[in-house]
């Protein structure tokens, strides 16, 4: 087995923070007992199914549902008429989502905008009957010309999706633009000795969560209960309220266990349809997407076209950079241009930067967030150009990065002046790691070997979180937070509570509350959950400690200020306070009713100060010249996480992100046929890495504590997906001596480049 | 069409059910039998989340007709632990954090158990190819492989 170097940099004397505890929800998840959304049933439950447009772009002239409604077993049929319409001229935002687009995404209104766009939904006594009834719905389409590719969609004369979107005064598919500026790029490039300018393309890739979207909705006496798989029950409630007109107090959204999201479950698809169907029929309605539907109609991330230009002096100092990032939004606006344009140059100290992003609509499903949204696309181009400049300057690529690495006090083009960050440490550790010194195999038997490096950045995120910490009568503790646990966050919450309170981890239970049992908590996403929930759980627990000290003071009849809390016990602050035996949490809890009643506290915060996260990755590849197959042989990630509350789940994020990035680089892509329909909507044809494709994924946790967080946390989950696209690309270049400027580097593309190489030779 | 009557054994217990001719084993497990531990990730045999054993062989239950269970011995994730005592693989998966969201975990565990029953001393290569039919999107497989190999080593040690 390969070496294990994780947590090498951890230095703390904590008892629970940094421990690899067993997750509280673990046993349920290894025994099959954990209830995911599709596992939920109710008495009298019926099934909903969606009819989807076969056309990538078509005006909906009429929909006749009569035959479907008459079909035995059918209970209700709905169309866009049953969803609240938000007029096109007025934006209604919920987080980053505009209800104008959401109401048109969950159900096609004026037009079907992609193959797979819902046009109607049926509720029936069985899933089979519902699906059959969908085929009886008659939709009269006026088929329109379509455009899917982002470059094509930007060209003059391209079919325009939305007349109301105007760019430079004319109807256009360019729905938005943003830019970041720092210094004077022209003056900067004039000082450069080496300037490299390249264009890059990436294919749309899907988040690839194994659990399809699913929900169960019951409406009784006008009050709705929603069980669904999402990255945020409060988002589900708010969007369903908007799209159905039911007030939020009449909707209870219960987070089911979630089978992966990676950003793709930060919006809703089925929930408002099931809610309207349940309201119409008076029966609980269950809806589950098939895998094909997930691929057709839930959000992959953007395909992209970027142009990057970077310049450096001959001593290896970057002097200017500019980038244009064109991202495919899909049917409705909202591609992650902020992530692409904002993160692309963020790792470096570059005095002159111009970075712009274009949000471009086209006839595929609406983009959804995907792990560090936009950042992998931005950093892919930058990190490949960095590699080329280093080569032109005859500098080691890590040395070149180190020389230009952003550090405290540097102003980033996207806005902030960096506080203490740990980017330099990721490069330094990569440079001295055994992986970087290990010799590559010699080319043999038609196989070539190469090594690549790349770095990456993500903003990280704070935002709203709520927690409640209750002390039970026996001194054990229940913590409730409002974030779906997507990858072990209950374990980190328990670690934090146990640490702050000074009690055994196993005495802490962690529950995820629903929208009626815990205060508002924003999405599980953006690498914010451990950051924000650690803050709010810490403050709640500290408040509980204040109460415990007051209770001990009452029992001892002394001043609360004369009581300290230490190792899970109340003690007199000193000899002056009096001589008392310490009171344990259990002893105080047992006397709670006599000393003032139940003990518990909750906090609700809008957290700030989640500082940026950085990583550097090393990748070794083998390229089979005859088959065009690229295999990753060795992979090591170095990431500054601030503080690893639970190192195993931190490593898990680093490894999982690396694997997704390797898939993005080598094998994953949406392939559309000439009719504008996705040609590979299955796990067989949409090729995500399987076990036998990958090596061990070594992860080196670096802890440069975030000074703005009680435990030093920065956030973990997003950054790991940022460097791999370029790390793999640079390794393939190192092996082949020929560079790819488009992803994925799938076997047919590799063979094409090999042919070109041979022709050139 | 009339339903088909099936007599089978599930996790060692006799079981009878009625199913439609075209109904999959996964549908019957998750529906009438209430065994929702087997998950449907694709319905086309590509993800392995619905992995069960039929007479000890691993099968994607979404590709098996329920009627085919007649007279067979079916094993599901619900039968893996012995009451409150977890199977060594289940315990090791928890210790190694070899799951994040957990949706692929039942299928991975069923497949891994079948591997160790056949090959108590698998190489990393053996484990990777045996589990190549079980997609996991969260972990990058690293901790899964380590957990399976370490369980195998522990079980060999215990058997000595």
Question: Each residue of B51-87: pLDDT tens digit?
Answer: 999 999 999 999 999 999 999 999 999 999 999 999 9
A655 touching B (Cβ < 8 Å):
yes
**Tell me: the pLDDT tens digits for A411-433?**
999 999 999 999 999 999 999 99
User: Of the CATH numbers 3.30.2270.10, 3.30.365.10, 3.10.20.30, 3.40.50.1450, which one belongs to the domain with range A463-605?
Assistant: 3.30.365.10
Least confident range from A176-180, A354-358, A610-614, A683-687: namely A610-614
| Nearest CB to A691 within list B47, B90, B132 | B132
Residues whose CB is less than 8 angstroms from the CB of residue A644 and which lie 6 or more positions away in sequence, other chains included: A7, A10, A18, A650, A701, A703, A716
Superfamily of domain B4-79: Beta-grasp domain (3.10.20.30)
* Mean pLDDT to the nearest integer, A539-553: 98
* Stretch 232-261 of chain A: residues touching chain B, C-beta under 8 Å: 257-261
- Out of A442-456, A612-626, A678-692, A746-760, least confident range: A746-760
Query: Quick check: A16 pLDDT over 80?
Result: yes
Q: In the predicted model, is pLDDT for residue A758 greater than 90?
A: no
Mean pLDDT, all residues of chain A: 96
Domain segments of chain B as ranges: 4-79, 88-159
Name residue, tokens 């159900």: A107
Angle, vertex CA A358, rays to CA A357 and CA A362, nearest 5: 145
CB contact under 8 A, B78 and A32: yes
Indicate whether A565 pLDDT > 90: yes
pLDDT of residue A754: 83
Interchain CB contact of A43 with B (< 8 Å): no
CB contact under 8 A, A210 and B39: yes
Angstrom CA distances, A494 to A551, A713, B92, stand at 24, 15, 20
Partnered with residue A140 across adjacent β-strands are: A62
pLDDT of amino acid A12 = 57
Secondary structure (DSSP) of A379-448: HHHHHHHHHHHHHHTT--HHHHHHHHB--TTPBPTTSPBP-S--HHHHHHHHHHSHHHHSPPPPPBTTEE
Query: In CATH terms, are A419-459+611-761 and A463-605 the same topology?
Result: yes
Are residues B37 and A31, on separate chains, in Cβ contact within 8 Å?
yes
| pLDDT > 70: percent of chain B | 100
Q: Does A23 touch chain B (CB under 8 A)?
A: yes
**Tell me: the pLDDT tens digits for A534-543?**
999 999 999 9
Percentage of the residues of chain A whose pLDDT score is greater than 70: 98
| C-alpha to C-alpha distance for A585 and A472, rounded to whole angstroms | 10
Res A755 pLDDT > 90: no
3-state secondary structure A666-719: HCCCCCECCCCCECCCCCCCCCCCCHHHCCCEEEEEECCCCCCCCCCCCCCCCH
| Element holding A61 (H helix, E strand) | strand A58-64
pLDDT digits (tens, 9 = 90+) for A399-416: 999 999 999 999 999 999
Alpha-carbon distance of A23 to A491, in angstroms, equals: 5
3-state DSSP assignment of residue A326: strand
Interface test with B, best of A7, A32, A530 (most B CBs within 10 A): A32
Average pLDDT over residues A350-374: 98
d(CA A383, CA A389): 10
pLDDT, greater one: B158 or A503: A503
Residue of A nearest to B99 (CA): A487
Dig out the tokens for A526 from the structure. Answer: 């953006």
Residues A190-219: what's their mean pLDDT?
Answer: 98
CA distance A172 to A170: 6
The 10s digit of each residue's pLDDT in B8-51 is 999 999 999 999 999 999 999 999 999 999 999 999 999 999 99
B78 touching A (Cβ < 8 Å) = yes
User: Which is it for strands A697-702 and A630-640: parallel, antiparallel or unpaired?
Assistant: parallel
Statement: residue A4 has pLDDT above 70 = no
- Residue scoring higher pLDDT (B1 or B40): B40
> What average pLDDT score do residues A553-566 get?
97
| CA-wise closest residue to B137 among A664, A526, A143, A680 | A664
CATH topology assigned to domain A419-459+611-761: Aldehyde Oxidoreductase; domain 4 (3.30.365)
B106 touches chain A (CB under 8 A): yes
For residue A112, name the pLDDT band (cuts at 50, 70, 90): very high
Q: pTM, whole model, 2 decimals?
A: 0.97
Q: Tell me the H-state helices in A502-597.
A: 529-556, 585-590, 592-595
**Contact at CB, A656 and B138, closer than 8 angstroms:** yes
E strands present in A81-221: 93-94, 97-98, 111-112, 118-124, 138-143, 166-167, 170-171, 174-182, 194-202, 214-220
**Above 90 in pLDDT, residue A9?**
no
Number of C-beta neighbours around residue B157 at 10 A: 8
pLDDT band per the 50, 70, 90 thresholds, residue A5: very low
**Integer Cα distance of B110 and B107 in angstroms:** 5
So what's the pLDDT on residue A731?
98
Can you say whether residue A289 is alpha, beta or left, with left for phi > 0 and alpha for psi between -120 and 50 degrees?
beta
Q: Does residue A699 surpass a pLDDT of 80?
A: yes
Tens-place pLDDT, residues B91-117: 999 999 999 999 999 999 999 999 999
Q: Which residues of A, range 128-147, sit inside 8 Å of B by Cβ?
A: none
Q: Which CATH superfamily is domain B88-159 in?
A: [2Fe-2S]-binding domain (1.10.150.120)
Q: What are phi and psi of B24, to 5 degrees?
A: -85, 160
- A136 min Cα distance to partner chain B (Å): 22
At residue A3 the predicted structure's pLDDT band, cuts being 50, 70 and 90, is very low
């Amino acid at each position: 087995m390969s070496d294990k170097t994780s947590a090498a940099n951890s230095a703390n004397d904590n008892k629970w923070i940094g421990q690899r505890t067993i997750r509280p929800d673990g046993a349920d998840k290894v025994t099959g007992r954990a209830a995911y959304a599709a596992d939920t049933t109710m008495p009298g439950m019926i099934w909903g199914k969606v009819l989807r447009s076969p056309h990538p772009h078509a005006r909906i002239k009429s929909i006749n549902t009569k035959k479907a409604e008459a079909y035995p077993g059918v209970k209700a049929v709905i169309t866009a008429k049953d969803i609240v319409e938000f007029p096109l001229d007025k934006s209604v935002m919920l987080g980053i989502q505009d209800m104008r687009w959401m109401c048109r995404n969950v159900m096609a209104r004026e037009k079907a905008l992609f193959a797979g766009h819902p046009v109607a939904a049926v509720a029936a006594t069985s899933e089979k009957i519902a699906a059959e009834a969908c085929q009886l719905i008659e939709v009269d389409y006026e088929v329109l010309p379509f455009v899917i590719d982002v470059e094509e969609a930007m060209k003059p004369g391209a079919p325009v999706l939305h007349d109301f979107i105007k760019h430079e005064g004319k109807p256009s598919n360019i729905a938005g633009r943003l830019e970041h500026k720092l210094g004077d790029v022209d003056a900067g490039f004039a000082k450069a000795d080496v300037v490299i300018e390249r264009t890059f393309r990436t294919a749309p890739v899907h988040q690839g969560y194994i659990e399809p979207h699913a929900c169960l909705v019951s409406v009784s006496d006008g009050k709705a209960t929603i069980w669904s798989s999402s990255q945020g029950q409060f988002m589900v409630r708010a969007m369903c309220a908007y799209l159905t007109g039911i007030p939020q107090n009449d909707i209870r959204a219960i987070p089911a266990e979630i089978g992966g999201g990676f950003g793709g479950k930060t919006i809703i698809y089925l929930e408002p349809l099931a809610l309207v169907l349940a309201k119409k029929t008076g029966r609980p309605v269950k809806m589950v997407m098939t895998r094909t539907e997930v691929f057709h109609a839930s959000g992959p991330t953007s395909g992209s076209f970027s142009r990057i230009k970077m310049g450096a002096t001959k001593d290896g100092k970057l002097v200017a950079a500019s980038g244009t990032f064109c991202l495919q939004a899909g049917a409705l606006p909202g591609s992650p241009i902020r992530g692409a344009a904002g993160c692309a140059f963020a790792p470096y100290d570059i005095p002159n930067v111009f970075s712009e992003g274009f949000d471009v609509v086209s006839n595929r499903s609406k983009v959804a967030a995907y792990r560090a949204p936009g950042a992998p696309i931005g950093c892919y181009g930058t990190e490949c150009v960095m590699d080329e400049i280093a080569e032109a300057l005859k500098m080691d690529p890590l040395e070149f990065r180190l020389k230009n690495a952003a550090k405290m006090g540097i102003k980033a083009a996207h806005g902030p002046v960096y506080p203490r960050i740990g980017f330099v440490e990721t490069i330094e550790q990569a440079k001295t790691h055994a992986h970087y010194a290990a010799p590559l195999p010699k080319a043999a038997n038609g196989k070539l070997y190469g090594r690549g490096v790349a770095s990456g950045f993500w903003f990280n995120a704070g935002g709203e979180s709520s927690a409640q910490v209750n002390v039970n009568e026996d001194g054990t503790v229940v913590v409730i937070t409002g974030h779906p646990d997507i990858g072990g966050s209950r374990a980190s919450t328990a670690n934090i509570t146990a640490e702050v309170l000074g009690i055994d981890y196993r005495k802490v239970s962690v529950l995820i509350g629903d929208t009626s049992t815990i205060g508002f908590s924003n999405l599980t996403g953006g690498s914010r959950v451990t950051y924000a929930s650690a803050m709010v759980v810490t403050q709640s627990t500290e408040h509980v400690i204040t109460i415990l000290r007051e209770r001990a003071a009452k029992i001892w009849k002394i001043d609360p200020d004369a009581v300290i809390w230490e190792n899970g016990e109340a003690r007199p602050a000193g000899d002056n306070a009096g001589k008392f035996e310490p009171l344990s949490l259990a002893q105080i809890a047992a006397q709670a009713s006599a000393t003032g009643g139940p003990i518990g506290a909750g906090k609700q915060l809008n957290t700030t100060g989640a500082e940026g996260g950085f990583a550097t990755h090393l990748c070794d590849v083998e390229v089979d010249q005859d088959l065009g197959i690229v295999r990753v042989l060795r992979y090591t990630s170095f990431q500054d996480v601030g503080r690893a509350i639970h190192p195993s789940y931190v490593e898990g994020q680093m490894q999982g992100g690396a694997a997704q990035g390797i898939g993005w680089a080598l094998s994953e892509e949406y392939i559309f046929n000439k009719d504008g329909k996705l040609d590979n909507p299955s796990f067989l044809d949409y090729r995500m890495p399987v076990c036998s494709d990958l090596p061990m994924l070594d992860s080196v946790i670096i802890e440069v504590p975030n000074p703005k967080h009680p435990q030093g946390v920065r956030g973990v989950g997003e950054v790991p997906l940022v460097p791999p696209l370029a790390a793999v690309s640079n390794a393939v270049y190192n092996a082949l001596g020929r560079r790819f400027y488009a992803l994925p580097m799938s076997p047919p593309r590799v063979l094409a480049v090999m042919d070109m190489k041979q022709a050139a030779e | 069409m009339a339903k088909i009557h099936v007599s089978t054994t599930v996790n060692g217990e006799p079981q009878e059910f009625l199913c439609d001719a075209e109904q999959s084993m996964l549908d019957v497990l998750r529906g009438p039998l209430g065994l929702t531990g087997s998950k449907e990730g694709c319905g086309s045999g590509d993800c392995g989340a619905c992995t069960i054993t039929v007479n000890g062989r691993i099968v994607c239950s979404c590709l098996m007709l329920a009627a085919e269970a007649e007279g067979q011995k079916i094993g599901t994730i619900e039968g893996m632990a012995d009451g409150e005592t977890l199977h060594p693989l289940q315990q090791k998966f928890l210790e190694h954090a070899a799951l994040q969201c957990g949706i692929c975990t039942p299928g991975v565990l069923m497949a891994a158990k079948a591997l160790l029953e056949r090959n108590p001393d698998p190489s990393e290569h053996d484990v990777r190819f045996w589990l190549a039919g079980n997609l996991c999107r969260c972990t990058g497989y690293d901790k899964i492989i380590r957990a399976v190999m370490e369980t195998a080593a522990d079980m060999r040690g215990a058997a000595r």
